[in-house]
A and B are shown apart, each in its own frame.
Chain A
């Protein structure tokens, strides 16, 4: 079945460092891909999405490109801030009504 594998954490970075969180997926069809962010004590919020190959989703300085050839959707940010500290989830939806989530990666940004 469909699945999402994302880079295990935790990840600790200094402020203004470059961030990459890897995400790869397995799907039989043409899924939509998502990154969600969860701040402490809150629910998951959509960060960005891409619905077809080569699409780039972006929001708040974060970017991810839908790479069908490598079945990947890596999350990147050029300069992280302390306020970016959160748990990040990669997810896919293949149209079968069930959304699959990765295990989550905890990011801590230190000043």
Chain B
């Protein structure tokens, strides 16, 4: 397996624009996580899915953020409208079950200017 695949690797956008980040988990993994990493706040869990169903979205910072998982092999994280404070590295991770290790993608570095 190629591992968790995220796209794009880098995204630069203007404030107010819509941004969509994409993730393909490892085949067969039932859990998918979205994290945000910044120098100030470290690694934050935004939302996670089990079998394509959102289980906990309490980490989503505000209504401008939304995430979907239409099938087992694809998830999106959308920010609309984007703001400069959303600038961060966004990671997607997947795992095969409880107690199992998480596999991370390479991340998307988002810069909102």
Contact = CB atoms under 8 A, between A and B. Distances in A.
Contact of B105 (A43, A46, A94): A43
A69 B43 CA distance: 28
Nearest to A42: B106
Contacts, number: 58
Interface in B65-97: 91, 93, 95
A16 B11 CA distance: 39
Contact of B50 (A31, A44, A97): A97
A89 B37 CA distance: 13
B98 A95 contact: yes
B48 A98 contact: yes
Nearest to A92: B99
Contacts of A101: 42-43
A40 B33 CA distance: 21
Contacts of B106: 42-43
B30 to A, nearest CB: 9
B98 A97 contact: yes
8 contacts: A43-B91, A44-B104, A46-B102, A51-B99, A89-B43, A93-B95, A98-B56, A99-B102
Interface of B: 4, 31, 33, 42-43, 45, 48, 50, 55-56, 91, 93, 95, 98-107
Interface of A: 31-32, 34, 36, 42-46, 49, 51, 89, 91, 93-99, 101, 103-104
